[in-house]
């Protein structure tokens, strides 16, 4: 990873309109900060929702068509996640980065399928995994032929329905691959609403600031024009209207840290 990277977008692809609204904000930020890599993220399927009643998405074919439109219309790189090995090839024909969800981070066949596409691969560290165990993930991906690998910290299970971030893990994982800090999933409350996950979005920005000071190679945010009406992960998503200011503040902090050697 040569440039500091910011990955952002709505949790799930709800509509072209919402994706385009978020993509336009990212496009403007990309124009303003040409030295930063902005990547649009959204999922065509959320296979691990809390309840059968939860919205999962509208499927692979439609989702990829939306992601391709985002690429073509806004000139952004795009990322999405896969849950099954067969999805790796069609997804690789559209996206720039394939993401492996946290709950599937140790699934060898899925990792190898992603690696074999030749695309960049971002793996979310499982909530159940120690940071040093991610070396095995990186080794699997390298064995499969991947040479651009990222690890993403998204919080660790802390009792029931809660996550905590151990910032020591960022430095540990950076021994194996560039590390991205997922600020919004780190403040998720898994299953906290019974049939859905809760979240504390007010803590996403403070945790992101801490990650920048500790040292990371990128940041990950889920952002939505109206998080309270989002069909997935609403409680931990950042309101889109607030996102540019958050990004600008974090980039200023990163510059201060680098200049002062903190």
pLDDT tens profile 121-135: 999 999 999 999 999
Q: What is the mean pLDDT of residues 63-76?
A: 98
State residue 22's pLDDT score.
98
Q: How confident is the model at residue 50 (pLDDT cuts 50, 70, 90)?
A: confident
For the ranges 6-15, 75-84, 123-132, 183-192, which has the lowest average pLDDT?
183-192
The alpha carbon dihedral of 119, 238, 58, 66 has a sign of: negative
Q: How confident is the model at residue 192 (pLDDT cuts 50, 70, 90)?
A: confident
User: Is the per-residue pLDDT at 53 higher than 80?
Assistant: no
Structure letter (DSSP) for residue 154: -
Q: How confident is the model at residue 31 (pLDDT cuts 50, 70, 90)?
A: very high
State residue 138's pLDDT score.
98
The count of domains in the chain is 1
User: Is the per-residue pLDDT at 195 higher than 80?
Assistant: no
Two tokens, residue 69: 């439109």
Residues for the chain: how many in total?
262
pLDDT tens-digit profile of 144-173?
A: 999 999 999 999 999 999 999 999 999 999
Average pLDDT over the chain reads 96
Q: How confident is the model at residue 6 (pLDDT cuts 50, 70, 90)?
A: very high
Quote the CA–CA distance of 138 and 259 in Å, as a whole number: 31
Ramachandran category for residue 230: left, alpha or beta (phi over 0 → left; psi -120 to 50 → alpha) = beta
Q: Which domain holds residue 137?
A: 5-260
Global pTM?
Answer: 0.96
Q: How far from 212 is each of 13, 109, 171, 220, CA to CA, in Å? A: 28, 33, 12, 12
Structure letter (DSSP) for residue 162: -
Supply the CATH number for residue 155's domain. 3.20.20.70
Would you state the torsion angle of the CA atoms of residues 144, 65, 2, 255, taken in this order, to the nearest 10 degrees? -140
Q: How confident is the model at residue 1 (pLDDT cuts 50, 70, 90)?
A: low
Q: 3 near 56, Cβ under 8 Å? A: no
Q: What is the mean pLDDT of residues 75-87?
A: 98
Quote the CA–CA distance of 205 and 207 in Å, as a whole number: 5
The alpha carbon dihedral of 130, 135, 136, 142 has a sign of: positive
Q: 190 near 178, Cβ under 8 Å? A: no
Quote the CA–CA distance of 43 and 56 in Å, as a whole number: 9
């Amino acid at each position: 990873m040569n440039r500091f990277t910011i990955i952002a977008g709505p949790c799930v692809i709800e509509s072209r309109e919402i994706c385009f609204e978020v993509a336009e904000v990212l496009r403007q930020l990309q124009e303003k900060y040409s030295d930063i890599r902005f990547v649009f993220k959204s999922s065509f399927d959320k296979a691990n929702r809390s309840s059968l009643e939860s919205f999962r998405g509208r499927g692979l074919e439609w989702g990829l068509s939306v992601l391709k439109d985002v690429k073509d219309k806004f000139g952004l790189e795009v990322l999405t996640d896969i849950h099954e090995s067969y999805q790796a090839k069609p997804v690789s024909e559209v996206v720039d980065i394939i993401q492996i969800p946290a709950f599937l981070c140790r699934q060898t066949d899925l990792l190898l399928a992603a690696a074999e596409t030749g695309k960049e691969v971002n793996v979310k560290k499982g909530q159940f995994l120690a940071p040093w165990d991610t070396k095995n993930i990186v080794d699997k991906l390298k064995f499969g032929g991947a040479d651009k690998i990222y690890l993403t910290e998204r919080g660790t299970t802390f009792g029931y329905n809660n996550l905590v971030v151990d910032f020591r893990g960022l430095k540990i994982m950076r021994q194996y691959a560039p590390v991205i800090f997922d600020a919004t999933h780190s403040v998720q409350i898994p299953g906290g609403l019974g049939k859905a996950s809760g979240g504390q979005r007010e803590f996403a920005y403070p945790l992101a600031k801490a990650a920048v000071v500790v040292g990371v190679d990128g940041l990950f945010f889920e952002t939505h024009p109206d998080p309270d009406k989002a069909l997935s992960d609403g409680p931990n998503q950042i309101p889109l209207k607030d996102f540019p200011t958050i990004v600008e503040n974090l980039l200023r902090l990163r510059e201060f840290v680098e200049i002062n050697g903190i």
